[in-house]
Structure 1
């Protein structure tokens, strides 16, 4: 399977073995990101996070990838979901290839609707018709967030990306919002309403290009208005 490699280790490795390497960064188009609805749910603690996740998986998602940060977290979540009779398959690092193939086959066929995965194990996944990507744990970096949510909204379909966050996750959520230049808004499940108020997320700053376009648009409108005023004055004088 194919994989996207990232991180400081890979960058240093490429410098050591390549001559004058060039780095290319591809930013997903706004059209592609617009197909993915993004929001977050605030949780008071890990137990609350799990209850929100359980509600989404049983009441909202048709098919979902749930991302976690470690193999230990994956094992805990897998066991908890199994205890609640929610069937899942999972991918984790150092997983035998035959086990990985079996998990992916069951997920792709629709036999199992939920896939748990760590970021490393999820590299190379290409499955259509994934309705939801759920960040049970926030990613380490903003570009990893983009890689994650890119698993939904494929082949012209719309998708949903949900982050279940605690208060300490808001610094990363703010960085992601700035990186993707979009506002990630909160949502609340009424029966699982959080006790605490969410910290504020700084709105992403507009790029210089966007500001320049807005200024040019205003200037153009002002010139048109001024031109219409001159024409009216001219007609009055002619009359």
Structure 2
């Protein structure tokens, strides 16, 4: 097992940048992906958010550019595709930080930027371009971006690109970059739509890496839950946690309606917060994230759709005000804390009907999630017990359970 970055055969200028960023030892995904990428293999990797995947593709890309330096100025040699503008900015920022001791240039091409700015960028020599698929395709169609020089194509959060309907665009971009030497695909999961939504020829004999965060990486997150008897009880628990226990919290809710209700309640209690939700104007979204980032507010309310792909530093608590619809979404959520080697906390505030979901999460993560109590806010009701359904009886009696399971896969 690789214990430190020096074992990864990276140049000293990259190693010193890694040290300055405070990374002590490679995460599981980095230790597995970097050597394979440097060996020239295509990569198919499952890496949940918070496991250090950006460095897992940025470091070998930077090393490759140094191993095979360009002879003359020209267009980008490495193309990184991300589903959203925010993620593109984050990836580019991290790549720049890793490349700070080199002369390599990293640019972004995303929506919401004036055409002239991009035209200026594209006239310069670039090494790495981080782009959103739709915007990049516009430039390719206008013959403003040259894909023939692309040597590596990297897809970040590929499953999310499919969810957002970018599958056909990514396939077109893949064929535009057909002279490339390598393709690296990173997705939160490798099941279902994770990869199958793309054309079969995207990857050639890839090294498959399933980097479920190791116990060591996950152990940094202390998980527990509180039971709530009523909505009033649930709200009281949340107020106590965010004001008395947590320094900086992301609070997850399941719908925009729930987010609006909770926002009003916190405002009434004079607890400042910012919020992000799906289909929100970009400037308001950026403003909400900036206020949380710079510490103007210490609570960010979010729906799952809005929060995927954002990387926020120093989150002490992830709070599930509403339990997610599946166990892997729970893992996505709690991965927002304990980043970059720090410790973190994941708290779920559950109602009686949430108990089966909590049990499912515990089975999925193979970890016990213990119950805790807040003085003066102990639940009065007994903990509900849900009997496990017997599969055989279910099949004989009625076809109802079958419908349920097929509904889940959609």
TM (normalized to structure 1)? Answer: 0.78
Which residue of 1 is the match for residue 353 of structure 2? 168
Which residue of 2 is the match for residue 18 of structure 1? 199
Deviation at 1:200, TM superposition (A): 5.4
Deviations 1:4-26 (A, max 9, x none): 446x9684596465227888653
Which residue of 2 is the match for residue 131 of structure 1? 316
Which residue of 2 is the match for residue 113 of structure 1? 298
Q: Distance in 2 between matches of 1:199 and 1:21?
A: 48
Structure with bigger RCO (C-alpha 8 Å, 6+ apart): 1
Q: What pairs with 1:132-147 in structure 2 (closer than 5 Å)?
A: 132-147=317-332
Q: Distance in 2 between matches of 1:21 and 1:48?
A: 51
Q: Distance in 2 between matches of 1:135 and 1:61?
A: 13
Q: Distance in 1 between matches of 2:240 and 2:215?
A: 30
Q: Cα–Cα, structure 1 residues 30 and 16, in superposed 2: closer, same or farther, change >3 Å?
A: closer
Q: Cα–Cα, structure 1 residues 86 and 25, in superposed 2: closer, same or farther, change >3 Å?
A: same
1:199 equivalent to 2:384? Answer yes
Deviation at 1:190, TM superposition (A): 1.7
Q: What pairs with 1:11-160 in structure 2 (closer than 5 Å)?
A: 11=192, 15=196, 17-19=198-200, 25-160=210-345
Deviations 1:129-156 (A, max 9, x none): 1100000000111111011001001121
Q: Distance in 2 between matches of 1:107 and 1:154?
A: 16
Consecutive unaligned residues in structure 2, runs of 5 or more = 1-85, 88-155, 166-191, 388-410
Q: Distance in 2 between matches of 1:201 and 1:25?
A: 33
CA RMSD of aligned residues (A): 2.4
Deviation at 1:199, TM superposition (A): 3.2
